[in-house]
Amino acid sequence: MTKLSDEMIALSDEYVLGLMSQGEAELFEEIMARDEEVARRVGALRDRLLPLDLSASPCDLPEDFTARVHSAIAAQGQQEADPAAMAANMTRPPARSFRRVIAAALVGLAVGFGFGGGWLRPMPEPVVVAVLLDAQGVPQAVVEDFGNDTATVRFVTDIDVPADRSLQVWTLPSEDMGPVSLGVLEGTRAARLAFGDLPDPGAEQLYEVTLEPQGGSPTGRPTGPIIGKGLAAPQL
């Protein structure tokens, strides 16, 4: 296993935090395609941040958010005014250094907002993962089932959901049980699903997302068009 340089670790963090321009992100994605260690670093950080994404509700930023960011940047600037610190940073592009200051400031502010020390705890490993494809074979969503009556769903493409419709996630534990709802979604945000007592998920178990009347299927079974479906693959 090759140890990543500090620079590559910093670039990975910037990519996941969305601090790169489109061009920079595209170049970094080419690096990931050629370097398994970089791709592994990015995947691990995304997994660590997923609990925050799933648990955080949309909210307005505090009125003093901008001022606090500027304050953090100013404090960093004062530290770099030291001649030794300036000499150490001369080999780094100014824009890159500036983005790192912003990244540090935002992470620090996120902790200050009350996410606490536990929000970066890694998710448990899923028992199975299913990639849901549409009728043309295009990936629409990914379902991870953890085998403890919880699962997550993440959409990988834009889906138009009319105002009077809801997306609903289903699985087929067995032919005898028939399709069982794992939950009704609010839009296409990543979501954690909690459902009733079901058998442990198995290989090639069917998962799908359908477009149902607002609030979910009125019959308790899938009634609307299938957005995507796929078979589960066990995670070794």
What's the pLDDT at 236?
66
Burial of 29 per CB tally in 10 Å (0-12, 13-18, 19+) = middle
Residue % of the chain over a pLDDT of 70: 69
pLDDT in tens, 59-103: 666 777 767 766 766 665 565 455 555 445 444 445 455 555 444
Domains defined along the chain, listed by start: 6-115 (no CATH), 128-234 (2.60.40)
Alpha carbon of 114 to those of 5, 72, 107, 118, 176: distances in Å?
31, 18, 11, 10, 46
pLDDT-derived band of residue 235, with 50, 70 and 90 as boundaries? confident
In the chain, the amino acid numbered 50 is: L
Query: What confidence score (pLDDT) does residue 82 get?
Result: 55
pLDDT given at position 123: 54
Provide the pLDDT confidence category of residue 119 given band limits of 50, 70 and 90.
very low
Return the ∠ at Cα 79 (arms to 74 and 82), rounded to 5°: 130
Choose the weakest-confidence range: 6-10, 166-170, 208-212: 6-10
Which pLDDT value is given to residue 110? 44
Run of H or E including 154: strand 150-155
> By mean pLDDT, which of 15-24, 120-129, 182-191 is the weakest?
120-129
Answer with the residue of higher pLDDT: 92 or 211. 211
Q: Is the dihedral of CA 32, 38, 39, 43 positive or negative?
A: negative
Is 5 or 236 the better-scoring residue by pLDDT? Answer: 5
| Cα 144 from Cα 140, distance rounded (Å) | 14
Q: Is the pLDDT of residue 2 over 80?
A: no
Average pLDDT over residues 1-26: 76
Chain segment 168-207, per-residue pLDDT in tens:
999 999 999 999 999 999 888 889 999 988 999 999 999 9
- Mean per-residue pLDDT over the chain, rounded: 78
Evaluate if residue 115 carries a pLDDT over 50: no
Task: Tell me what pLDDT residue 13 has.
Answer: 83
Highest mean pLDDT: which range of 35-39, 42-46, 129-133:
129-133
Q: HSE of 141 in the Cβ direction (CA atoms, 13 Å)?
A: 27
Calpha distance 175→182 (Å, rounded): 16
Mean pLDDT of 154-166: 91
**Per-residue pLDDT at 102:** 44
By the 10 Å C-beta count (0-12 exposed, 13-18 middle, 19+ buried), 173 is classed as middle
Which DSSP state fits 54? Answer: H
* Residue 159 in this model has a pLDDT that exceeds 80: yes
Residue 135 confidence class, pLDDT cut points 50, 70, 90: very high
Give the whole-angstrom CA distance, residue 112 versus residue 95: 26
Give the C-alpha distances (Å, rounded to integers) separating 58 from 41, 105, 133, 189: 27, 20, 28, 11
